[in-house]
Amino acid sequence: MLLIVYIIAGVASAIGAILLTARLNSAQLIAGNMYELEAIAAAVIGGTSLSDGRGKIFGTLVGALIISVLRNGLNILNVCSYTQQIVIGSVIILAVLFDKIRKN
């Protein structure tokens, strides 16, 4: 089972790298830097608990949509990338706080 999970993760990473390279028309070592923050943010905003890891796929998709809209809106407003990371980090903290309050 663990081998199958690693194979699926590798194939998904390869597909993501191909799509990102096609979008940027170049391959750079730091092209996907900090994307893991957005993935965690999407899962947490979508309702996945950080304490037990339980969540739903649909919730994660909704969380990814929210993060994408937030990132796009901040880009349209010409907010610098460092401030965008602070905003997304704040959203993660608020989502974790809400999850803890809901669990208690």
Cα 70 to Cα 18: distance, rounded to the nearest angstrom: 25
Q: What pLDDT is stored for residue 4 in this prediction?
A: 95
State the pTM of this model: 0.73
| Over residues 75-89, mean pLDDT | 89
Question: Per-residue pLDDT for 15 more than 90?
Answer: yes
Q: 51 and 96 in contact (C-beta within 8 Å)? A: no
65 and 95 housed in the same domain: yes
Assess whether 25 and 48 both reside in one domain.
no
Token readout for 65 is 């949509």
* Distance in angstroms (rounded) separating the CA atoms of residues 89 and 6: 28
| Structural domain range at position 95 | 34-104
pLDDT value, residue 12: 93
Nearest residue to 33 via CA among 9, 50, 12, 17: 17
Mean pLDDT of the chain: 87
For the chain, the domain total comes to 2
26 and 43 share a domain?
no
Q: How far apart are CA 6 and CA 88, in angstroms?
A: 28
Give me the pLDDT at residue 98, please. Answer: 85
Check whether residue 41 and residue 82 sit in a common domain.
yes
